[in-house]
Amino acid sequence: MSGIFITLEGGDGAGKSTQAELLGAWLEARGHEVVRTREPGGTRLGVEIRRLLLHGGEEVGEVDPRAEALLYAADRAQHVARVVRPALERGAVVVQDRYIDSSLAYQGAGRVLDVVDVRRISEWATEGLRPALTVLLDLDPADAAARLESRGGTDRLESEADDFHRAVRAGFLGLAEADPHRFLVLDAAQPPEDLNAAVIARVAPLLTAL
């Protein structure tokens, strides 16, 4: 595959969508095909999985943590097969909001499932596809909660207890510490333009391979 796979990770409210938009615009201005996408919800099947997982409410009732992990993996398998891998094969830059690291942090650390098991099902689902770069936007959960409150309305995961979000943050930071060459960790409390500059500085050298 000749394209570049870039993922953005972090807790809810960290600003991933803003940074994905800014990075995508910078790449397109330099003539690159950019595929901006997200998990869950990057395919027609994924849209339905996202609705059930995040907004299903009484329709689905309480979701067992293992069922949750498997549904995210199912979304991921479809998404990689139908969107991500084809884009990379034609030389595009894929800028994606969430990937396997989110499952490891949310279902592994947050739901206290075995991280090895969570990683195994996602790597099987994606046939081992790994990002060239993962940008982790790190934000204190209290600050994230304030951002979400000002935005109005929360989904099922966003409304979890503080302990859950602290565990998720620790999970993300642990993943970054274990794989420093892939991760770029940024303080998401910084102004968006400063974060964008730091992301571009890390992405620019990757473009020489295109």
To the question of whether residue 15 is assigned a binding role by annotation, the answer is yes
Query: Which one has a higher pLDDT value, 1 or 20?
Result: 20
Write down the domain spans for the chain.
Answer: 4-209
123-152: average pLDDT: 92
Per-residue confidence (pLDDT) for residue 25, from 0 to 100:
98
The answer to whether domain 4-209 has CATH 3.90.1200.10 is no
Q: Which of 21, 52, 55, 60 is nearest to 38 (CA)?
A: 21
To the question of whether residue 17 is assigned a binding role by annotation, the answer is yes
To the question of whether residue 67 is assigned a binding role by annotation, the answer is no
* Phi, psi (degrees; rounded to nearest 5) at 167: -65, -40
H or E element: which one contains 34?
strand 34-38
To the question of whether residue 13 is assigned a binding role by annotation, the answer is yes
Please check the confidence at residue 16 and state whether its pLDDT lies above 70.
yes
Any residues with CB less than 8 A from the CB of 30 and at least 6 apart, and which? Answer: 207
Share of the chain above pLDDT 90, in %: 82
Q: What is the pLDDT of residues 24-57, one digit of tens each?
A: 999 999 999 999 999 999 999 999 999 988 887 7
> Which residues, in sequence order, are bridge partners of residue 4?
93
126 token code pair: 């994606």
To the question of whether residue 14 is assigned a binding role by annotation, the answer is yes
Give residue 63's Cα distance to chain centre.
21
> Within 104-161, where are the H helices?
115-126, 141-151
Any residues with CB less than 8 A from the CB of 183 and at least 6 apart, and which? Answer: 134, 135, 136, 175, 176
Q: What is the pLDDT of residues 73-121, one digit of tens each?
A: 999 999 999 999 999 999 999 999 999 999 999 999 999 999 999 999 9
Question: At 153, is the pLDDT very low, low, confident or very high (cuts 50, 70, 90)?
Answer: low
CA distance 40 to 97: 9
Per-residue confidence (pLDDT) for residue 209, from 0 to 100:
77
Per-residue confidence (pLDDT) for residue 55, from 0 to 100:
81
* Sheet with 183-187, edge to edge strand ranges: 34-38, 93-97, 4-10, 133-138, 183-187
Q: Computed from CA positions of residues 104, 106, 111, 112, in that sequence, does the dihedral angle turn out positive or negative? A: positive
